[in-house]
């Protein structure tokens, strides 16, 4: 059972060349609970709102500043963000492994499955990857198909392509 918390969640909109990103943080010290492109934010945040029912307010955050630094070229600016994501133990393993993929590189779903000790669970790894609510801090965009093609991305393949090119510069 996932504990329901009553703390305030603060959201901040950050412009990027790929479209605005919205960051949601909770607590002191702040923990990132949602990080997604704004046009997908409500869909991603819906699951988080069950655990953190509010209030949700607009405001600034250190995490939003880290996203700005990332967009400005510091591709490691998000590496040390404290994230607070509720999921199954398997999802938690997948999300932890995603944080270990270096900026500018990609892994296949098969490589990710092997990294979490479940080499036969490629589809389950893909499902866990898609359930990640903290898109840039837990870099799900760094996972590609076995043939190197981009595959899907919750924010759209064009954005995945931009994020990977941005990190490789």
Q: Check: CB of residue 90 under 8 Å from CB of residue 96.
A: no
Burial of 111 (0-12, 13-18, 19+ CB in 10 A): middle
- Active site includes 55? no
Report residue 80 as tokens. Answer: 């040390």
Q: Which of 100, 72, 35 is nearest to 169 (CA)?
A: 72
The catalytic residue among 18, 140, 143, 163 is: 140
User: Is there a contact between 92 and 129 (Cβ–Cβ < 8 Å)?
Assistant: no
Q: How far apart are the C-alpha atoms of 121 and 100, rounded to whole Å?
A: 19
Active site residues: 140
């Amino acid at each position: 059972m996932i504990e329901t918390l009553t703390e305030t969640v603060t959201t901040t909109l950050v412009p990027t060349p790929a479209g605005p990103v919205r960051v949601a943080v909770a607590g002191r010290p702040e923990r990132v609970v949602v990080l997604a492109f704004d046009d997908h934010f409500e869909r991603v945040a819906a699951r988080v709102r069950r655990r953190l029912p509010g209030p949700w307010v607009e405001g600034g955050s250190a995490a939003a500043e880290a996203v700005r630094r990332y967009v400005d070229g510091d591709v490691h600016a998000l590496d040390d963000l404290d994230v607070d994501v509720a999921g199954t133990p398997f999802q938690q393993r997948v999300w932890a492994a995603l944080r270990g993929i270096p900026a500018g590189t990609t892994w296949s779903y098969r490589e990710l499955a092997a990294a979490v000790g479940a080499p036969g669970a490629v589809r389950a790894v893909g499902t866990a990857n898609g359930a990640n609510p903290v898109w840039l801090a837990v870099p799900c965009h760094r996972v590609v198909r076995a043939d190197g093609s981009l595959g899907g991305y919750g924010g759209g393949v064009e954005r995945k392509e931009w994020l990977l090119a941005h990190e490789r510069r």
